[in-house]
Chain A
Amino acid sequence: MMRVLGADYRRDLGSRSYPLLVYTLAPLTALVLQSWLPRLLHGYTWFDLPLVVTIYFALARRDPIQGTMMGAGMGIFEDALTHHAIGVNGIAKTVAGFLAGSVGVRIDVDNYIIRLMMTFLLSLLCSVIYILVYRVLLGMDQEWRWLEELMKAVGTSAAASILFPLLDRTQIRD
């Protein structure tokens, strides 16, 4: 009875698995596209594909540790492509990955709307953490542009609405 109510049981029950190729290629593709697409879209960067992939795998795997590691890796990689300090995005996405993995244990990850709402909220949270790290931890100026962050959260959710069904098709079914 305790096993039925426990989080471990729910995690094992609902955890999805994917081919190794998907685990490798999906994050890499997201990182490459995040860097390349703005050149095609004339500087439009109101989306965060690495965050979408982080949230997707953290929710699907229902594992906070995996979400934390993937978030940290994606964030550090993104930072490395900028001229900013490495670790700012890393911290933000680490927290996002951990929260997505933790919440994934408690919610119905098959529900499409819930996953999109999670993406929207975690995108906003990432923006807040990014600004806080800059201002509080580093003591540097960083302007808070709430409207653009809101638009970015909407853009990220829109990207998630396309990517989530695509990634769902790659999962291994029993």
Chain B
Amino acid sequence: MLLVVLLAQIIGLAVQVRRTDSGRNTIDPRDPAGVRLIRLWADAVVTPPEQIFHATKLGSVSLWQNYIDLRHTREQNQELQKTIDRLRLEQASLMEDARQGERLQALLDFQQKYIYKTLAAQAIGSSGNDSSRVFYLDKGSADGLERDMAVITPDGIVGKVREVFPHSAQVLAINDPTSGAGVILETTRTRGILRGDAIGRPQIVGILADQRIQPGEKVLTAGGDLVFPRGLPVGEVVRIAPDPDRDSFIDVTVKPAAHLDRLDEVLVITSTQPRFSAEQQQDMAASVVLKGAEAAAIKQQQKASQIMAERLPGLTDPNAPAPATQPPGQDQAAPPAATAPAAPKLLQPKHPDRFTPGAQPQPPQDKESSATHQAGRNP
């Protein structure tokens, strides 16, 4: 019995393995029909309970976060609003560059793909095996997912859809040894392929040794793998080590920008287009309006300041005569005459009061002195 079961499985394994052109054995990424059927059954058994567990967990967390633990929400909201305003202004500034880039790309007959449409999905399960870094999403072909779609978070890229089932999908994370993503180092513009090592750390392999590559350098997607659009954050360089197999090559270990072990909600890029989406255009329009409003507000403020500067008396009048000495007997509360503001350009009010520009605060107890002072200062 044991031998029969073992033999059947060995034959099954032989069907799934193929030899590459380089003479190495590999598992066929496109599962045979029988294998896919087994995966489908396994997924059908595991996914529904996982969705229930996940929904329960989300419900509890949501109840706590949205109805009970609301401390600092108002402050956070204000901070977020400020961040949105700041990002809108930054976006408006960058938009001109983007448009110019589009025009230049059109001239060069090269089309940059932008993220056009995304679908939010929840990570609900994993392979349960540390040598297979895949996880499952609660969305599948019924929701429009397809193989090889990019999976990202706002922090950075996560992986690509490997297998799609009707109501779930299997995602191969970027830290799996069999994954591959085209990346580029932000400063040195060195290109390479990102894949995971044996313990699940993403590494850029197959790049020539370069002294300029230093820890801390940002890594972005290069856009050449037909999965990830160009320019998405991947992570940052944490370690550079010589390639053990090839001289003059190095392996660059990358700390992923996305928290691969703590994924909850992810975005699947379901469509990329050589133009901005309607939503993005709406955002940019809002940014332009905001930027225009801000610029107008700044201009208005400057104009008002200028008017006020013209209308209000200055601390010193260039036309004023040399400061006179303080007349004897003047009240101590009154300021010295040298610092008294003069307003030669202003029309004289019919009924000056203490708010009239140039008028001095008058102590009520010394009416005579005050009247003398007022008469002496007003021409």
| Chain A residues engaging chain B, CB cutoff 8 angstroms | 28, 31-32, 34-40, 42-43, 45-46, 64-65, 68-69, 72, 76-78, 80-91, 94-95, 98, 133, 137-140, 142-143, 145, 148, 152
Contact of A94 among B6, B57, B127 (CB under 8 A): B6
Contact of A43 among B2, B178, B261 (CB under 8 A): B261
Assuming the A-B contacts A87-B10, A94-B9, are A31 and B45 also in contact, with contact meaning beta carbons closer than 8 angstroms in the complex?
yes
Residues 128-153 of B contacting A (Cβ, < 8 Å): 128-132, 134-136
Q: How distant is B170 from chain A, measured CB to nearest CB, in Å? A: 7
- Is B367 among interface residues, defined by CB-CB distance under 8 A? no
Contact of B42 among A46, A65, A77 (CB under 8 A): A77
**Which of B39, B128, B178 neighbours the largest number of chain A CB atoms within 10 Å of its CB?**
B128
Indicate if the CB atoms of B10 and A35 lie closer than 8 Å.
Answer: no
- Is B156 among interface residues, defined by CB-CB distance under 8 A? no
Indicate if the CB atoms of B2 and A36 lie closer than 8 Å.
Answer: no
Indicate if the CB atoms of A83 and B170 lie closer than 8 Å.
Answer: yes
Complexed CA–CA distance, A35 and B200 (Å): 18
Residues 114-132 of B contacting A (Cβ, < 8 Å): 123-132
- Is B16 among interface residues, defined by CB-CB distance under 8 A? yes
**Which of A76, A85, A133 neighbours the largest number of chain B CB atoms within 10 Å of its CB?**
A85
Q: Top 5 nearest A-B pairs by Cβ distance?
A: A80-B42, A82-B132, A43-B261, A34-B128, A143-B198
Complexed CA–CA distance, A34 and B172 (Å): 18
Residues 223-243 of B contacting A (Cβ, < 8 Å): none
Indicate if the CB atoms of B127 and A83 lie closer than 8 Å.
Answer: yes
Residues of A within 8 A of B130 (CB): 43, 45-46, 148, 152
- Is B110 among interface residues, defined by CB-CB distance under 8 A? no
Indicate if the CB atoms of B2 and A94 lie closer than 8 Å.
Answer: yes
Complexed CA–CA distance, A142 and B49 (Å): 32
- Is B41 among interface residues, defined by CB-CB distance under 8 A? yes
B interface residues, how many (CB within 8 angstroms):
53
Indicate if the CB atoms of B5 and A69 lie closer than 8 Å.
Answer: yes
Select from chain A the residue with minimum beta-carbon distance to B41.
A80
Indicate if the CB atoms of A86 and B45 lie closer than 8 Å.
Answer: no
Select from chain B the residue with minimum beta-carbon distance to A148.
B130
- Is B26 among interface residues, defined by CB-CB distance under 8 A? yes
Q: How distant is B145 from chain A, measured CB to nearest CB, in Å? A: 16
**Which of B39, B123, B260 neighbours the largest number of chain A CB atoms within 10 Å of its CB?**
B39
Assuming the A-B contacts A65-B1, A88-B13, A137-B13, are A28 and B128 also in contact, with contact meaning beta carbons closer than 8 angstroms in the complex?
no
Assuming the A-B contacts A38-B126, A39-B126, A139-B25, are A84 and B132 also in contact, with contact meaning beta carbons closer than 8 angstroms in the complex?
yes
Contact of A145 among B54, B129, B199 (CB under 8 A): B199
Known pairs A39-B124, A68-B2, A81-B46 / 14 extra A-B pairs, C-beta < 8 Å: A35-B128, A38-B126, A39-B123, A42-B262, A43-B130, A45-B130, A68-B1, A68-B5, A80-B39, A82-B127, A83-B127, A84-B132, A91-B13, A139-B17
Contact of A35 among B17, B41, B126, B263 (CB under 8 A): B126
Q: How distant is B265 from chain A, measured CB to nearest CB, in Å? A: 12
Q: How distant is A131 from chain B, measured CB to nearest CB, in Å? A: 10
Q: How distant is A147 from chain B, measured CB to nearest CB, in Å? A: 11
- Is B12 among interface residues, defined by CB-CB distance under 8 A? yes
Indicate if the CB atoms of A91 and B2 lie closer than 8 Å.
Answer: no
Select from chain B the residue with minimum beta-carbon distance to A31.
B46
- Is B163 among interface residues, defined by CB-CB distance under 8 A? yes
Indicate if the CB atoms of B128 and A86 lie closer than 8 Å.
Answer: no
Indicate if the CB atoms of A81 and B261 lie closer than 8 Å.
Answer: no
Instruction: Give a binary string over B256-276; 1 marks a CB under 8 Å from any A CB, 0 the rest.
Output: 000011110000000000000
Select from chain B the residue with minimum beta-carbon distance to A34.
B128
Instruction: Give a binary string over B325-342; 1 marks a CB under 8 Å from any A CB, 0 the rest.
Output: 000000000000000000
Assuming the A-B contacts A81-B128, A85-B16, are A39 and B9 also in contact, with contact meaning beta carbons closer than 8 angstroms in the complex?
no
Residues of A within 8 A of B126 (CB): 35-36, 38-39, 43, 45
- Is B38 among interface residues, defined by CB-CB distance under 8 A? yes
Select from chain B the residue with minimum beta-carbon distance to A49.
B128
Complexed CA–CA distance, A143 and B128 (Å): 18
Complexed CA–CA distance, A145 and B130 (Å): 11
Residues of A within 8 A of B136 (CB): 35
Select from chain B the residue with minimum beta-carbon distance to A89.
B129
Complexed CA–CA distance, A30 and B58 (Å): 22
Contact of B129 among A82, A90, A91 (CB under 8 A): A82
